[in-house]
A and B are shown apart, each in its own frame.
Chain A
Amino acid sequence: MNTPAYNFAYLDEQTKRMIRRAILKAIAIPGYQVPFASREMPMPYGWGTGGVQVTATILGPNDVLNVIAQGSDDTTNAISIRKFFAKTAGVETTTSTAEATVIQTRHRIPELPLHAGQVLVYQVPIPEPLRFLEPREIETRRMHALAEYGLMHVKLYEDIARFGHISTSYAYPVKVNARYVMDPSPTPKFDNPKMDNCAALQLFGAGREKRIYAVPPYTSVVSLDFEDHPFSPYRFEAPCALCGAEDTYLDEIVTDDRGGRMFVCSDTDYCEGRQAEGHRGSQSAAPQKEAPRG
């Protein structure tokens, strides 16, 4: 069979240069949304085309790539993107967060703290945090340029007025480097503190909206809040059923049709790692794990 010959990591070199320029600009202005000429990718919008373009641009032959979706590395999305890069770039892939040099993620930040030299690439649907309050692009650009973020607090005020607390539970807006307000992508607000002063480089790609933004290593990322309603990450009521971790983000898994459910770490790699170290939760199976996934 004649398989087409792809350039390394699918994108042509000129496109990579264009995207690299956008990435450099994004790193120079933390949290600022840089427009870029998003290319047509062999997957539809909504499947991480922005993240894939960023990863394709920064990948080198010696990189080790991991792809996770909702914390798990064995979902359809994660597997297919990992295979895509294995095929078009021939890079080594892994499911271990610690071993990867580039991690592309859909909507979660790994539990294991990242180290210097790693790059976390986020998939972003709507990059503009003000979009739902102010539909005009001209106006939101002006607000960012003039640092007019009163409207963002209006949204938080409305939450408290309506629900008694800030109800935003994911895509919780943050202020980066004390200047730009940014949407951290639909990661749970539980993950926001991990973005602050992170040792790794964080890149964000939105393919359909054609924007790239970045948080350089060791940059301040502060979740917006009120003095009398400070930001508080969600606290789970029970530890992970498999590994007993008490400080991770948990997924709810339906186990039977009688209402049985269990809560397990969303980050599969982290959970497996803990179990390998001997940690056990209330519903751990025998040492061979592979609990069913939803």
Chain B
Amino acid sequence: MAEMKSVADNDRPLLIAEDLAKNYGRLTACCDVSFTLYPGEVLAVVGESGSGKSTLLQLLSAQLVPTSGRVNYRMRDGVLRDLASLGEAEQRFLFRTDWGYVHQDPAQGLRMAVSAGANVGERLMAVGWNHYGRIRHTATSWLERVEIDTARIDDTPRTYSGGMRQRLQIARNLVTEPRLVFMDEPTGGLDVSVQARLLDLVRTLVAELGLAAIVVTHDLAVARLLSHRVMVMKAGRVIETGLTDQVLDDPREPYTQLLVSSILPP
């Protein structure tokens, strides 16, 4: 994958999860999750329903407070901060600028009643862009980049197909050039051909922009296509972790071997 950053940046982790755990009473949603993510790396969190992967994504993006453990994130100024120590204003700012979050259902990540151009431009306006022409120009170029016909810039996402909505959600998230993007089943619910196109787009953008990403998916093919590293989860625990090709070609744990052997051959 493309790496546009300097070597110095490469050596410094972008996100460090330490012994993350989340319990709801006696129910353990996830526990003992630790890993380090470097800039430009894509990590896939793979598991079946109930594996805790979605809970983990929410913990990592500060949408849930962990029962124990810590998430440290390296801010744009280079300082490593514990997410729990950030004030609400800081967290929300982070969420709108340095991070992206792509929901499985694009309607959750878009303003459905507002035009596509405004959807893409909102984050820019939120950080103080005050020139209509420039906002619109940036929104137009992003629509092009995610292969949405720019003539539809003034249409609301209500008039878009599922695949288009998802691509719009991606544009909306990437417009502030975040360094880390969280994706929750980004291709869930889409037709196969639409999935393929979306994955190709995500692959290209991640490489071009040098994004780091954490992608939750139950689909190993998505993991193989998008990610450098994979973390396999089951019942809230990390079963196996490693480079994607390592885990998929040389699975060691029984559960991983089961998952890999369950993929239908092409």
Contacts and interface: CB of A to CB of B under 8 A. Distances in A.
A–B contact with Cβ pairs below 8 Å: the answer is yes
Interface of A: 133, 142, 146, 148-151, 153-154, 157-158, 160-162, 226-229
A157 B131 contact: no
Contacts of A229: 132
B27 interface: no
A154 B131 contact: no
Interface of B is mostly: helix
B130 A150 contact: no
Nearest to B154: A161
Interface in B177-236: none
Given A162-B115, A226-B135, 18 more contacts: A133-B114, A148-B126, A150-B125, A153-B130, A154-B122, A154-B125, A157-B117, A157-B125, A157-B132, A157-B136, A158-B114, A158-B118, A161-B115, A161-B136, A226-B130, A226-B132, A227-B130, A227-B132
Given A148-B126, A162-B154, A226-B130, A157 B121 contact: yes
B87 to A, nearest CB: 10
B92 A157 contact: no
B7 interface: no
Nearest to B132: A226
20 contacts: A149-B126, A150-B122, A150-B125, A150-B127, A151-B122, A151-B125, A151-B126, A153-B125, A153-B130, A154-B111, A154-B125, A157-B135, A157-B136, A158-B114, A161-B115, A161-B117, A161-B153, A226-B131, A227-B130, A228-B132
Nearest to A146: B89
B88 interface: yes
Contacts of A142: 88
B122 to A, nearest CB: 5
Contacts of B111: 154
B157 to A, nearest CB: 13
A293 B117 CA distance: 45
Given A161-B136, A226-B130, A228-B132, A154 B92 contact: no
B152 interface: no
B126 A157 contact: no
A229 B134 CA distance: 12
B132 A158 contact: no
Interface string B107-144: 00001001101100111011100111101100000000
Interface residues of B, number: 22
B118 A157 contact: yes
B219 to A, nearest CB: 33
B159 to A, nearest CB: 14
Contacts of B92: 146, 148
Contacts of B118: 154, 157-158, 161
A210 B138 CA distance: 41
B123 A150 contact: yes
Contact of A146 (B88, B130, B153): B88
Nearest to A152: B125
A228 B125 contact: no
Contacts of B89: 146
Top 3 A-B pairs, shortest CB-CB distance: A150-B126, A153-B125, A226-B132
Given A146-B92, A162-B154, A154 B121 contact: yes
Nearest to B87: A146
A286 to B, nearest CB: 51
A133 B123 CA distance: 15
A183 to B, nearest CB: 19
Interface in B77-120: 88-89, 92, 111, 114-115, 117-118
Nearest to A156: B132
Contacts of A150: 122-123, 125-127
